[in-house]
Every structure is written in structure tokens, then in C-alpha cells.
Amino acid sequence: MSKVYFSTWRGEAINNFGKPEDAWEESAYKLPQQYNEHADSKAFIGWDGVALFHEDVDVVRLATEYAAQYQVYSEACGRCAPGRWGGRILFDLLDKIARGEGSMEDLAHLKEVAQTMQTTSKCEIGKTVPNPLLDLMQHFEDDFMTCITEQAASKHYNEEINYIAKITAPCTDACPAHVDIPGYIEGVRDLRFDDSLKATRQTMPLAHTCGRVCPHPCEDECRRANLDSPISIMELKRLGADYETDHGFNFFHPAQKKPSIGKRVCVIGAGPAGLTTAYYLALEGIDVDVYEDLPVLGGEVAVGVPEYRMPIDKYNQDIEAVKDLGVNFFTNTRVNADMMRQFEKEYDAVMIAVGTRLSKKVRCENERPEIEGYWGAIEMLDQVNLWEKYGIGENVDLTGKTVVCVGGGFTSMDVVRCSIRANAKKVIMIYRRDEKTIIRNTTYEEYHEAVEEGVEFIFHSAVSRMNDENDVLKSLDFDRFELVPDPDGGRAQLVKIEGGGFSKEVDFLIPAVSQSADLDLLPPEWELEMTSWATILTNGKDYMTSRKGIFAAGDCEYGPMTIVNAVGQAKRAASVISRYVQNGGKITLTDDEIMEDHLRKMKVYNKKETVSGWLAGLPRQVSEKLHVDIRKDNNNEVNLGFTQEEALSEADRCMRCYYIAMVAH
Amino acid sequence: MITFTIDGRDVEAARGETILNVARREGIYIPTMCYLSKTTPCASCRMCVVEAEGVEGFVLSCQTPPTEGLSVTTHSELLETERVNIMRMYDVNHPLECGVCDKSGECDLQNKTLEFGIDRQHFSAKDQAREIKNWGLIHYDPSLCILCEKCVHVCNEIIGDDAIEVQFGGYKSTIIPKNSDELDCTFCGECIAVCPVGALVSSEFQYRANAWELSRIPSTCAHCSAGCALEYEIKTGGAASVGQESIYRVSNNFEVATLCGAGRFHFDFTADTSRDTADFSQATDALRSCEAIRFSSVITNEEAWILQKLKETLGIKLYNEDARHFQEFMRAYTMKSKQLHYGASLADIKASDAIIMIGSRISTDNPGVRYAMTEAARHHGAKISYMHPLEDTLMQNTITQFVKYEVGTEEGVVALLALALLQDADLDTEDKNILDQLDEGYLSAESNVGEEEISLMMNAFARSTKKTLIVGSDLLSHPQSHNIAKLIGLIAMHSDFRVMIVPKHVNTLGVSLLCDLDADEQTASVVGYNAQGDFVIASSGARDFSVPALNQQEGTVTSVDKQVLPINVAVGFEGSTLNDLASAVGVVARETVDYTCKLPESKGFQAVVFDALENFYTPLGDDVRGYYLSTRHIADVRVTPLQDIDELPEFNGTVVYHCEPVRQFNSYTAYHSDEEDRALVGSPQFAVAAKISDGDQVEIALRAHKVIRHFRVDETLKGTVALHPTFDLPLEVLDGQYRFEKVKIMKVGS
């Protein structure tokens, strides 16, 4: 809810002309009324309308500046005739009117060009730029007419006003790493795979990885879904990454690495968050040292995500790209509090990105870690992956064993599917809720593939007790639950069914309910503020902890979440740190980042919007998966990815929904 | 098939076919400014929008496949309004210099401006100063550029140079060299060909003629075996009088076909008789009295057939080492494949998703094959294994695996391939035994091709369904070519790979089919026909008697596609032809092309008269040039078993690889070369090993020849083999010889 003088945003028609400010009708949307802590916004203008927060806004100039911003953003145009020339004509005509030299004919031409852009432009940015301009011309016709009839400049034509613009897209907005998704898909469509990869790497260094194991929240906010079904966004990321790898190119970095600026940053943890921080800091010419507890680089994606889902040679390519920028890595180095104290002195900033590597308990009776057969998911996956991918440690062989995993998320899926591959006799997944929820928490593919491979799913159940003989696990007791709908429409309640319990003889209980952060490394006297989830607290915008110069990102900040979330946080943190180390320890956000946060709050995707200009019904491509019989006893990658033809058809479905939004303050 | 309607007409679309494609096939007109048939849609002009029933707004026909039952309208008042407005935008600030623009008369912008009746500038925008760029053979004027992106698409998708890109900047957008300040490419000129306006033009052609003054002579390129279609554009009017016409430029049907830089820019190889030292009777005397005719494969099928007839009539020998090696290779290949010709075509390569290329520096040996590989890589994501002792940076964005083998070990490498590809094949016992007994470890160690490299290759091909093996001329001229050919034949017969064996010269394949060739014994009394001899009859270089060049005569050549293609007279020739000479010595015909319909059907030729041969592509892109050799199954060939491979040769010391720089092939292209083209080019490592440095003049002692060349270090090269050009040397110096050669190199002069 924002207080507005006037708004046409998302079709609303709020017009408080002549009303006193306290009687203003409010907008239904979370518009960026306050730009940042220092400045109030005067107006917000974007693809779906315009909102004025003050009476005194110079709408003619606002329109002109919006058209000008459209010119500035190179990725916005230059790719189609109506956008390229139309955008320039719009600006020239508007500016002519705004400076008091316009004519009625110019107004007519404006409308004519606007119409052509709206119906024929290549991307949504060209199609939507005229929308708020036409709104303004309609609702503030007098202002435009005054400029024309009196041949006078608009009222604030010569004043200093800040106009901050930002390009976005629904998918980009939904992606925690804000990847330029339409950009990388356009690269695929145009067969310019290097450009595709560069678009990805602007904000996401792990292109191979997030082309495989991302839960793709972007696809939930893909505008194509309004027409038929969303673009298969995630998998298209592979094309650029494979192009670089297959042809043995030097790494396509999004920008040339700057020469060293003599600043040093230390990163604890070489997982997705640590790698991302290192990558973007190194690009800025900052010297980065990364310390990693494990003997290998990559964090949970290396030792947690199994080979069949994320082949290590592909992940290593992503890691090599980081190494290519000269980042120093120290493996087998467990950082402790003393080292942290030292790092704080030695480095210009410290990033904590240690993830969450402690398996939480299932909370049943007799849950004692010393019982043989009780095996934390993290430890189990560590052993599997270190052996399968690196030949470190020993092989996990579950021949003849019965394994029960308690979970429901990605980690538990990895546990059960690895157990199948380790030749377990029987693999059971215990989940408190239902099938629908497990699919929502993971992906349909993950669940479906696990079932195919022979995992038995028992829903609405939980382990109530571990039964051991001499500290050797023998069996488990389970409770059964039923879902009782909440009469108030809330989340259904789990209610235990009395007498519905059952027991099973098992060899292993693997808890994969959740993980927590191991933060022994934090010097106690720092008294870092923590969240109620026992993760490190930051404001979620600049990722500095309560201690100056100490930053945190990824799972140890957010709690166990996705790779892309860790990447997004770390990318932002790297940007903040790169300025922090250069400007005397000030925490700042760029205008682009401020706008990014505003837009995410408003949400760019509009589920209710009707899509025009595209033919519905072109099928979403589905990549080939390795058949269950040839995959379940080995680590061959299950998802074979798109063929080139499939990828190109899929890329053709992308509607290039770029938008431009602008705030005046 | 998807059934739908366009403008009320029932039509059908194949899977993936777009609305625009179907419309074009059905003869329904939808205007476009940026569409190019052979590339993915640029989708920049937006002229091709159509209405689709039930869809709000317009749909872009060039990139939208139809859905079942869709009803499409291509023309309406609304569509017309928007299309007119787009044209009005295209015309904003477009310089009014049609009077001097090269493109005038064949300009898409000019045509569409007239078509849509734009007679004044409707919209206005502030004009901008834009700098004209001179990129060598290519001239770019950004103020004429409409940013259709066709040039960028062909450069990346068809050619593979990927040397230009759009610098995005809205109204300021422009085309720039990619990753460098100056254009660094093979200068194929394809960007010029596809440019719909006068933005990209040939620097050499600029301001020389107007489109309407030029006559177009359709022909076939003479430079390599790709057999690319081209049109010689000649000017006859003005100061030129009949017989003194000259070629002003070469153009092609860029919508579907492609040309390399040699084809496009090196067209001026016409012969004249001004420097002849002998007259007609001396030439016929030479023929009558010679023991052999030595000739090159840069001749027509008809000339080859005449030479064959001369052999039969005069009882002389015919020398052509290039074609003889090809012939021998094909003979051995046929033994195992049971086919007279190899199976794959350029279209097969383009459609491939797996390719093995062995024994060629294909980017310069045969650009047509390279372009087909580029298309396979881009459009089908082909996995391409490039097997050669030398890496080629031009191919980096096309190939997915470079397999380096040691010079000379081709037989072993092909055997390793055969072992991998024929694992489950049902072979003759004899051949199977030979293969089974091969010492894989030895072959692998000597050739330096590891087992893991082969298995990486096989894994990469795991999902592939259309596979092609391309065999280059290193293998044809290899001392063990006979056994190599048999192995390749077995692969063709028993694996799912189609095989292409790339002939070297424009008509190597034709000559190899038509002539009964003898081993060149350097006999005394040899008449050279486009080759060295005691008496030389030729169309280029030093000669005693001139005959017309390949752009001065009618005839046919047989391309790598096994297609018999017509060539035509672009420029007249005041002199005699081989047919005239032959007629005088007893092989009589009125015209050379009287032989066209007499070429032997047993070799796949057809009894078609020359004038009945077409030479064009249909508007839909169908190739109706000449005809294809018919396939011949050969069952009753004498078969000899594979040979065991006992020892692979080693090449130590200073080794050069005979291969041409870009846009160079032979004496026809040599006139358009500079010292840079003629240089010996080596890696820094080679320079050290050969004890020479960048810029040195060096004497290279080849087997039978010494050449003085400039030496240039190329930092992008690796290894200790240098690239040695041969285009400026007499053909038979190298034809038919193994392309790697141990040489002595000495620094000379200062």
C-alpha cells in the first residue's frame, strides 16, 4: 500500500487531483514511495503504468526521461526496427515538446510511433515503454498542451532531478541471483553461446551447476506460463557453459579482470557462496584468499549433490573459472576463532560462507548419535561423494542393508538415491506430510526419478523411537499422522493417529530433516547477532554482520536454502564489499541494487496479465533422461540435457519480457 | 504435419516449420527485411507480423511454428499500417545517396520503400555522425546500415568466423568487429553478399559499376572441389567492347548458398594469348610427338575426357598424380564399401550431429566443407572430433575435440578409429582377424592417440544419430593410403558413419573417374596441360600456348557432392581450346561440350547435353544445378584383405605441412596474393627448432624444388610443424605427395 497522488499502475485508476493529501486514495501496490533512507520518490514509472507521489511532478519531463532511459539501456534496444528507431523518435518528440518547441503534429506522431512499438516490437520493453507515456499524455493532456500552445518548457525542465532506471524481467526478478535470463536465452536463440554465457556470468558464475541443480524459482514467475507453460529456463543455461567447455575456450568472463587495487578479502568456505564472492571480488581487482575445511573445493555441491545429478567435471569447470581470476584457495584448512581474529586484522574484509553442515536430529526417542546405524545425511553424502568423485576415503556399500531416511527436501532425495546406487536392499523415505508437499519442496523430476529407481516413500509418518541392541540399531518405531484441514483455511494440521504406529527392522537411520550451521569459528567475544534459526544475522541487503567488516552469505546466513540463493546473496555481498574496502568502510548499495530490491518487493511478475502478440500452445521441451535400468546402479548423469534442436525450439518460446522501471527523486 | 490455414487456404507445416516458411512454400507473400533462409531468424525487422485467429496482437511469422487448426491472416489494414510505419522508420535519416550507392538497383530498402509508397520522411529523429570503416576487402558505412543482423548471423552460423557483432546501443547500434578493433576474419565476403543495403560493400568493387549495368553469368567456382554456385557479373557496355568484357564482381544466391573469399574476390584469372611462344601447329605437333600429357585437375570433365581420348588415340600416357592417388584410394575404398562413390554429401554434413574429420586442414583445403561443419555445429550442436597433427584456431568454435596425432601415423589412427567403430560389425573373417591382431597399445603409443581420447569421442557421440566421417587429402597421398582406404571402406560399409572423401581440386573427382592415369615417371617429352612439361599448354602461369581458363569456357566439373556442375563463359577467349587442338590430332568434336552427354554412364555420369543442364537454386532453396552422379554398387570387384600394420613411420627434424593460407588454392588465386600469403608460417617453437626468426628470408629445400620464402612467426600456432603454402608452385611439385615433408631450411640474404 503506497500513498499516491496519481496511479495507473497495473490498471488501477487513482486520481487524487485537487484532494488534500490526507484524503488521498492509496495504491494497492508496494510502490517505491521512499527511494532510500535519504530520499523520497517523486514518481515511479514503468511498463505497467505510472504513479506520482507528489502533485508537483513535471509529467512531460518524466515522460521524456523515461523515453531517454530507454535509449540509454543498450540491451533494451538495438535489436528491432520499431524499438531502435521508435525509441529515438519518442524521445526526440517528447523532448521537443518538453522544451517548448513541439507541435500538435508531433503529438500525433508520438501516438503513431507508440502504437507501432506496442504491436510490433521484439521484446516487451519496446512494447511497454509507450504504455505509461500514453497514460500521462491522456491524464495530463493539459500539461502537454500548455508546452505546445505556449511554446514553453515544461515546469521543471531545467531542474536537477534524479531519474534512476532499471531493466528487469519477471524471471530475472524472481531469480535470487537476478540472472539476465532473457539475455542468455537470446544468446541460445541467436546461436551466440558465448554471449549467452557472458549474460549468465554477469551475476552467476556457476553456469554448469545452475544449469543442472537449480530449483528454478524463475520458472514459477515466467510470463510464458500465462500463455501456456513456462520456458525451461534452467536447462538452457547449459548451452553457453557447454560451448565454452566443449570448444576449450578461455573463460568468457563478463568483464575483464581489473588490475589489483591492493585490497585483500578473505572468504571462509569454498561452496557456492564463497566461490561467488571470490569471483566477483576478483573481477574488481581485489585479492581473495579462500579457506576450505574439506580436502576439495565446491562445498555441498561437491560433497553433497551426487554425481548423477551434478557431474563433478562440470562443476570443476565452474570452479576453474573462479581460479582463472587468480583467487587463492587453501583446502584442508579448518578456520577457528583464533584464525578469525587474525583474519580480521590481516584482511580488509572477511566473508563467512561456511554453509550449514550439521545434520539436525529427527527428534525421536533414544536418538543417540553413538548408535551404530545412525548416520547424519551430511556425513553419509560426504563419504559417498568424496569416494565417487575424488577417490578419497572409502566406498559406501549398502549391499543387503535396509536404509530409512527421514526428510523431504533435496538432501533426503540425494540420500535415498545414493543408497539405491550403493546397492541397498531396501530404501525407505519417511515424510510427515504428503506427496504433493514433497514435490513442492523438491521438484517433480526428483521425486519421480527416485520412485522409478525403487525408493519406497512412506508419507504421513515419523520415526518415534530408535531400538538398539548394544548400541547397534535394530529397528525403528514409527507414528502415523493424518492431515486435518484447518477450518480457518490455514496450513493443514498434522495429527497423530493413535494406535496407528508400526515398526520396521532397519540397518540405518539417516536423518535429513535439516541442517544447521557450524559456527564454532566465530570468536565468542565478537558476539555476532544471530537469527532465531541460529544463523548469522544480516539485513539481507548488504550482508554485513553486526560486526564491521565481517560479512556472511549463503546458507550460514539464510539457513539451508538453494545454490542460487547463496549465489545471489554472495554476488550482492561482493558488490558491497568491493566498495566497502575502497571507500573507507562505508556500506553502500548502488542505485541498481536499490531498484532491484524495490522491484522484488513489488514483484515484477503479474500472474493475471494477459499476454498478447504470442501464439499459445507451443510445447515446452523436455530433455531426455537416462532410463532407470541403465542409471540406477551407477553415477551417470540422469538428465541428458537438451539436444540442440530442442534447445533452439525452447529458446524460441521465450518472449523476452524485459521491462524498464524508473524512479524520480 | 500440422494443418492450418493462411489467408483461408488450407496448408500444412512440418514439425518446427514456421508460418513464414509455409507461406513462402505456398507462394503467399509476407514482406521481410531481415529474414535469411539459411540462418536462424534475426527477428529484427518485425515486418513479417501476421494476425492469428484468437491471438491478441500480431504474431511474428518468421519464428513461430503454427498450431493445429490455426487461422492466419497475412494482410489486413492494421498490418499494413504497422508495416508502413516500420518502413517509415527504416527511412528515417537514411542518406539519400542512392545515386552513388553500390546497392542501388538491387537494394531491399529501395525496393520496399517503393513497395510501401514511402515518398517522404514521415518521422524525424536527430541525425548522428557515424564513422565509415575500411576493413580491408570490406567497407562498412554505418549510416546506411539498417541493423538487420543478417551479416552477423551468417558470419557466426554459416561461416564460423564469428568475427562481427552488433554493438548494442539502440539508435546508435552498429556493426563492429568482435573481440578486436580491426576486422580479423577470413574475408569470405559473405557479410557483403547478405547485406540488403549498401552498408557492407566490397572495397574493390565500390563505385566501379551500377547493378543494372552488369550481366550475370551463372557458373561454378573453380577454386576447390566444393562446387559452389556463383555468378560472374560482367560489364560489356560503356568503354568495353565485345570481347573485352571483364568481370566486375562475383555474386551468389546468398539466401541458400555460400561462397568463400577466393570464390568471391579472386575471379580475375582469365587467360589471354598475348604471351604465347608457340602457335597452333606447334602445339599440335607437341601433342603428336609427346610420350605423355601431364595435367592438373583444374580442368573440366570434358577436357579430361578429351585427354583420355587423346591417350587412346595417340597411345600416350596420362599423368595426374593428384587424381591418380584419389583414384587408387577410391579403388581400395570400393573393395570394402562395395560402392563406387563415397556416400556423404555436404547436406549430410550440415545435418550431422557427430563428425570425425581426419587428415585435412579443412578450413583452407575446402571452405565449403568447413561451412557445412559450422552449420552442423551451430544448428545441430554436432560433436566434432578434429584429428590432425596441427590445431587450427579457425575451427575452435566448431570442433568439440581436437585429437592430435603424430605426423605420418595416419594409418595407425584410422586403424584405432576402425577398432572403435567396428567393434560389433559383421566383418569378413580375414579382415576381422587382422583387426583383432592389431597391437592397439603400439598404435596408440606411436600415434599419440590415447585410448581415453577415442572413448571420449565415442561417449560424445552416444546420443548422435547422424554421423559423418570426413577424410582429407593427407590420407589420400599417404604412403599407406591403400590400406587406409580399405579401413575407411570398412567403416563406410559396417558402421553408422557416412563417409566423405574430400577431393583436392575443383575436378579431382571428375578426372579420377574419367581418365585412365599412369604413374608419373617424369618421362622425357611431356606436354603439360595446365601443368609443367616440355611444352606447356595452359590457362595460367608460364606457357607456350594458351587455352581458356575455367571462367572462359563451357563445360562441367564434378564436385565433392558428386554433382556434375556447369561452368560458363564469363569472359571471351580469343584463341584455341583443347578441343581445337585435339580435333586437329584426330579426336574430333565441334565443341568441347559435345562431350558432356558422352561422359561414361558406368561411372555415374548421365547422357545429358550441356545446354540441358540447369544452374540455379529455386526460390525455396532446392539445388537444381547440373545433376548428381548416380550411385553405383560394385559387387564384383577384386577384393584383397586388409594389411597388417607393422610399423608406423616417424617424422623428426624440420617438418612442414603443405597447405594454403585463406583465399588461396592455386595459380588461379595466386595473382591476388601478397608476400604474407606466400610466407612460411611457424610457431615460436618451430622458429627455435629451425633456427630462424620472424621476418627472415629462408630457402626451403623440398623434395624436388627449392623455394625462397619469407618466414613469419604465428603465436597462435603450436608445435614444430610449419605451414608451407603451395598455391604459387607448379601443381605437380606437390600433387599426390604426402603433405607433410621433412625439409631443409636455411636463412638466406639479410
Q: What is the pLDDT of residues B75-93, one digit of tens each?
A: 999 999 999 999 999 999 9
Residue percentage of chain A with pLDDT more than 90: 89
Across the interface, whether the CB atoms of A610 and B56 are under 8 A apart is answered yes
pLDDT given for residue B634 in this prediction: 83
User: What is the CATH topology of the domain spanning B2-90?
Assistant: Ubiquitin-like (UB roll) (3.10.20)
> Rounded to whole angstroms, how far apart are CA atoms A406 and A509?
8
Residue A489 banded pLDDT, cuts 50, 70, 90: confident
Tell me: pLDDT of A224 over 90. yes
pLDDT given for residue A423 in this prediction: 95
**Residue type, position B174, single letter:** T
Across the interface, whether the CB atoms of B170 and A77 are under 8 A apart is answered yes
CA neighbours within 13 Å on the CB side: how many for A37?
3
Tell me: pLDDT of A506 over 90. yes
What's the mean pLDDT in A387-413?
95
> Rounded to whole angstroms, how far apart are CA atoms A85 and A93?
12
What's the mean pLDDT in B452-462?
95
Q: Say which residues have a Cβ less than 8 Å from residue B445's Cβ, sequence separation at least 6.
A: none
Q: Would you say the CATH fold of B325-501 matches that of B2-90? A: no
At the second CATH level, the architecture of B655-748 is Beta Barrel (2.40)
Residue A74 banded pLDDT, cuts 50, 70, 90: low
**pLDDT tens figures, B101-143:** 999 999 999 999 999 999 999 998 888 899 999 999 999 999 9
Q: Name the phi and psi angles at B277, rounded to 5.
A: -105, -10
Report whether CATH 3.40.50.2030 matches the domain B108-202: no
pLDDT given for residue B168 in this prediction: 86
What's the mean pLDDT in B442-454?
95
A275 and A302 Cβ atoms separated by less than 8 Å: no
pLDDT given for residue B308 in this prediction: 98
Residue A72 banded pLDDT, cuts 50, 70, 90: confident
pLDDT given for residue B639 in this prediction: 84
Across the interface, whether the CB atoms of A85 and B40 are under 8 A apart is answered no
Question: What count of residues does chain A have?
Answer: 665
Residue ranges and CATH numbers for the domains of chain A are: 2-161 (1.20.1440.230), 359-515 (3.50.50.60)
What's the mean pLDDT in A235-255?
96
B292 and B318 Cβ atoms separated by less than 8 Å: yes
pLDDT given for residue A485 in this prediction: 85
CB within 8 Å of chain B, chain A residues 638-657: 640, 643-645, 647-649, 652
Closest chain B residue by Cα to residue A610: B56
Question: Considering only CB atoms, which chain A residues are within 8 Å of B379?
Answer: 191, 644, 648
Question: How far A644 CA lies from chain B's nearest CA (Å)?
Answer: 5
Distance of CA A57 to the CA centre of its chain: 35
**ipTM for this model:** 0.93
pLDDT given for residue B108 in this prediction: 97
Across the interface, whether the CB atoms of A86 and B397 are under 8 A apart is answered no
Using CA atoms of A104, A106, A107, A110 in order, give the dihedral in degrees to the nearest 10. 170
* B573 or A487: which leads in pLDDT: B573
- Strand (E) or helix (H) holding A565: helix A563-580
Q: Could you tell me if A620 lies within 8 Å of chain B, comparing CB atoms?
A: no
Write the DSSP string, B340-373: SS----HHHHHT-SEEEEES--HHHH-HHHHHHH
Tell me: pLDDT of B750 over 90. no
pLDDT given for residue B744 in this prediction: 94
What's the mean pLDDT in B237-243?
57
Question: How far B499 CA lies from chain A's nearest CA (Å)?
Answer: 23
Share of chain B residues as helix, strand and coil, in percent rounded to the nearest 5: 30, 20, 50
A367 and A466 Cβ atoms separated by less than 8 Å: yes
pLDDT given for residue B239 in this prediction: 56
Tell me: pLDDT of A417 over 90. yes
pLDDT given for residue B275 in this prediction: 87
pLDDT given for residue A486 in this prediction: 83
Across the interface, whether the CB atoms of B381 and A647 are under 8 A apart is answered yes
Tell me: pLDDT of B243 over 80. no
**CA angle at residue A431 from A427 to A435, to 5 degrees?**
100
Residue percentage of chain A with pLDDT more than 70: 99
Tell me: pLDDT of B251 over 70. yes
- Strand (E) or helix (H) holding B219: strand B214-220
What's the mean pLDDT in B357-367?
97
**pLDDT tens figures, A109-143:** 999 999 999 999 999 999 999 999 999 999 999 99
Tell me: pLDDT of A313 over 60. yes
Closest chain A residue by Cα to residue B72: A615
Spell out the domain ranges in chain B: 2-90, 108-202, 295-319+528-628, 325-501, 655-748
Mean pLDDT in chain B?
94
pLDDT given for residue B523 in this prediction: 76
**pLDDT tens figures, A319-339:** 999 999 999 999 999 999 999
Question: What count of residues does chain B have?
Answer: 750
Mean pLDDT in chain A?
94
A602 and A32 Cβ atoms separated by less than 8 Å: yes
Tell me: pLDDT of B622 over 80. yes
Tell me: pLDDT of B732 over 80. no
Q: Which CATH class is domain B325-501?
A: alpha beta
pLDDT given for residue B238 in this prediction: 60
Closest chain A residue by Cα to residue B65: A618
pLDDT given for residue A77 in this prediction: 63
Question: How far A78 CA lies from chain B's nearest CA (Å)?
Answer: 4
Using a cut of 0.90, tell me whether the model's pTM lies above it. Answer: yes
Strands (E) across B359-466 are located at 383-387, 401-403
